[in-house]
Structure 1
Amino acid sequence: MADEVTLRPNGGWDPRILVCACGDLVDVFVVLTERYAVIVDTLINRATASALLAIAREHGGRRQLLAINTHADWDHAWGNHALAGAGAPEQVPIIASRRCAQRLRARETRAELAAKRAAEPGRFDDVLLTAPTLLFDETLAIVGGDLTLQLFATPGHTADHISVFIPQIGTLLAGDAAELPFPFAASAAALPQLRQSLERMQALDPAAALFCHAPVAAGPEVLKQNRAYFDTLEHHCRAALAAGAPARPPAGADLEALVGFPYALAVPIDMDADALAGFYRPGHQAAIRMMLEHLGGGQP
């Protein structure tokens, strides 16, 4: 089943971290501390969130359940209603940024849900957009006894994005702030934020890193690769602008040719670029357009 939630076999990371795959869509996590079983992202609907909750209960024993939303995107927070609110079988505190709560209450998110219900009947029918219940702005620590989960803002992919660092085991849970072959910025204005977030995560010098959209074995090298992608993108876009390319190319323009940075070169050589092209090639082209706009608009 496309949305089946399964526990991935441990590939060498700390056994207190459970990696849960929702089909081929996204990986999310359960962190087992002495005090808490912490669910990191609640997936896409009641069924997937309930399956994740069952894994947390099975492995968490008597630990108190907590949840985190890294951000409000549909594959990360639309399962909140299975953990909180009037229809939830039990009330699990959900921790997220204040902006995450705002996004989940926003008219645009309600419109997105309506569109997804129309496009994929049955998959999102039971979704009740539910805001997190414990909010913070920049940083928050969950002191679990043996492990501390340090939550910190990593905007750029979205304005509300947070990541998690566990210093006792040097492990980063990056969410969507880093991924392979490259992460997505929300807008041209958000590009510097995303790059700063990558720099901030790399500065932590994590010994291990897990991502929502990257192979579990990818490790902290992803942060270096993502930063190199944006550095290369900036180099090509600056050169193109200096040669007379427009900062806002017309619709339909061959953006890869315009800046001399084809999609195939944007994907690490050990990844199958063709297999990823349906999703990441449009993302690469969007990144080119954003970078041209950012640089051409004179933003710092």
Structure 2
Amino acid sequence: MSHSNEVELVANGGWDERILVCRNAPLVTTFIVITTRYVVVVDTMINEVTAGKLLDVARPYLTDGRSLLIINTHADYDHSWGNQLFAAMGVPIIGRRASVPIFSEPDTLTFLQRVQTDEPGIFGNVIPTPPTILFDDKLTIDGGDLTLELFATPGHTVDHTALYIPEINTLLAADAAEAPYPVARTTAGLPVMRQSLAKLAAIHAETALYCHAPTDIGPQLLHDNITYFDKLEAACRAALARGVPANPAEDADVIELVGLPYAQAVPQIARWQNIHEYYRTRGHAAQLRMMLESVSRES
């Protein structure tokens, strides 16, 4: 996928007007929360240019004594590679302690080198920059009129964070839930990710916004993601009982082996059925492989 420096402010779809939604299409959606004390930029997108455009959106609200804060929901490139702009300005960047090593680990640097070669105009100047204010499991920001409750939601990544704003019963779930489904990086992360989904659903938020889902999809996405993985688990348990191996050969048709096509695992409505072919095929197969291995480890 090629990348763009374009950032658009998304028209408000009914959420509280103190939340601004910004999009670097088609890759990622991020947020700016305006409180009486702070202007909080939630994720910094892919580079200094996109971060600068987020700052342009935030700047008119930096009045009446408000300070600028940055939150990283996790260390993935589309959420944190704009950090260097704000770090150079001395703006506090808040993130999980678990994220810090990710910015300098070999996989990150290898990926950076590849995208700098492929798209130097986008990534040529990126310097992965970790957060400067660290927390482990929970952190509360008292914004005056709004409270931002940050809490660990690992699984998609080990460092993932979600935000809840109780005064407006709004959840910023980041990548803990996605359309059509979130992805754990490791088999061990899969059950943890499902626990995080359950934790988010238990909040019963009136409004839920995500970094990789339509803004109008709402809290129902949490339940649809939970149902998707529940169906995968049931199908994989049945497949293992029939003798399907926990680790099928690389060239095996895992969807056929397990007997659960994508279309049967998601809601029967157009939004879920009309998606990129990857999610129906290779992506869904990868989820099934991970679930087979995860379930087999329980015995």
- Bin for the TM-score computed over the shorter chain: over 0.9
- TM-fit CA distance, 1:272: 5.5
RMSD across aligned C-alpha pairs, in angstroms?
A: 1.4
Task: Structure 1 unaligned segments of length 5 or more: list them.
Answer: none
User: Distance between the aligned counterparts of 1:2 and 1:265, measured in 2?
Assistant: 34
CA distance in 1, matches of 2:114, 2:219: 36
The 5-angstrom pairing of residues 1-300 of structure 1 reads 2-62=4-64, 63-84=66-87, 88=88, 90-268=89-267, 269-271=269-271, 273-279=273-279, 281-298=281-298
Please give the per-residue CA displacement for 1:174-203, whole angstroms capped at 9, x wherever unaligned.
Answer: 000001111111111111100000010111
TM-score (ref. length: structure 1): 0.95
Shift of 1:45: 0.6
8 Å contact from structure 1 (residues 3, 23) kept in 2: no
Give the letter for the 1:262 counterpart.
P
Distance 2:297 2:286 in 1: 16
Instruction: Judge conservation of contact 2:180–2:279 (CA < 8 Å) in 1.
Output: no
* Offset at residue 109 of structure 1 (A): 1.1
Deviations 1:95-135 (A, max 9, x none): 00001112112222111111211232321101011010000
CA distance in 1, matches of 2:5, 2:285: 28
Between the aligned partners of 1:4 and 1:112, the Cα distance in structure 2 is 22
CA distance in 1, matches of 2:185, 2:114: 19
Taking the aligned partners of 1:58 and 1:215, their CA distance within structure 2 comes to: 26
Q: Secondary structure of 2:237's match?
A: helix
Q: Secondary structure at the match of 1:43?
A: coil
Percent identity, please.
Answer: 51
Bigger drift between 152-161 and 283-292 goes to 283-292
Question: Quick check: 1:181–1:266 contact (8 Å CA) kept in 2?
Answer: no
| Aligned-pair CA distance for 1:276 | 1.7
**8 A contact 1:266–1:284 mirrored in 2:** no
DSSP-derived class of the 1:174 partner: strand
Q: Once structures 1 and 2 are overlaid, which stretch shifts more, 68-77 or 98-107?
A: 98-107
- The Cα shift of 1:58 comes to 2.1
Instruction: Give unmatched runs, 5+ long, in structure 2.
Output: none
State the secondary structure of the residue aligned to 1:271: helix
AA of the residue aligned to 1:291 = M
